[in-house]
Amino acid sequence: MKKLLLITAAVSAFGFMPLVSQASPAEDLKAFRGYFLERFPNVPLEEFANGVYAIDTGSREQWEAIEEFPPYEFAIDEGKELFETPFNNGKTYASCFRNSGIGIKGDYPYYDIEKGQVETTESAINECRTKNGEPPLKYKKGKIASIVAYMASTTRGQVINIKIPFDQRARDAYEDGKHFYYARRGQLNMSCAHCHVDNAGNKIRADLLSPALGQLSHFPVYRSKWGSLGTVHRRFSGCNKQVRALPFKAQSRQYRNLEYFLTYMSNGIPWNGPGTRK
């Protein structure tokens, strides 16, 4: 607070804003992780992969009962079949990915220096399709969610380790996602952080708000509210609607950059998708 007051005084007295060094992504991650570990001191870092079920015993018991016969299991099987079914040219998705697409969900999202944009698992799947003469899939649910569910299931247990390359454009994409996360929007004038940072663990109506830490580890996700599986951009869109803001299109620059930032903020936590949530 004292530092902030000194900066404000300098602006008032001299009519300029002194240069303030911007926190690096690594510094952001350290502060972000530290905040949640201090707020929930009895929760180990890796447990944040389980969202609200890591911080509430009652919710966890219900979730564990559901996970005995997970509703996303059918999607994994469907995704595997789709992944292995040849395109009209005889190739499969395996031809487009490192290690034939097995255990590589953790490669995404990443900043593609040649394209100058963030690439996601879903965008890579559709790029694979178009390169092989197939039409792209819709991004929020359906076949693409099942394919990602299968790919995610082969990556379970690996630790999230998203990189920010030494390229200003990559850093700008990260900062854009960070700004999106903390910016107020919609008629309710709320940011993502208002729910999942400031009020993590508090109730909104009858539901507990999940911590932001580890929040993207379990996607794609089967939500009881949806009655189906959905991608992370489907969830972003729904959150924007809940604060009465006009959502962006799935795989828009805004949502890709948001995914990039938020996944980086979960570095060190294991991938455990697909998952089940209310």
* Burial tier of 67 (Cβ tally within 10 Å: 0-12, 13-18, 19+): middle
95: Cβ–Cβ under 8 A, 6 or more apart, which residues?
128, 132
Q: Which residue has the tokens 């940072």?
A: 197
| Per annotation, catalytic residue among 96, 128, 192, 239 | 239
Enter the tokens of residue 243. 């604060």
Cα dist from 30 to 6, 41, 72, 213, whole Å: 26, 15, 33, 11
Q: Tell me which H or E stretch contains 111.
A: strand 110-112
DSSP characters over 189-249: TB-HHIIIIITTTSEETTEEPPPSTTTTTT-SEEETTTTEEE-HHHHHHHHHHHTT-PPPP
Active site residue 239: yes
Query: Residue type at 7?
Result: I
Q: Which residue has the tokens 């009020």?
A: 199
Cβ atoms of residues 211 and 48 within 8 Å: yes
> Which residues are identified as catalytic?
239
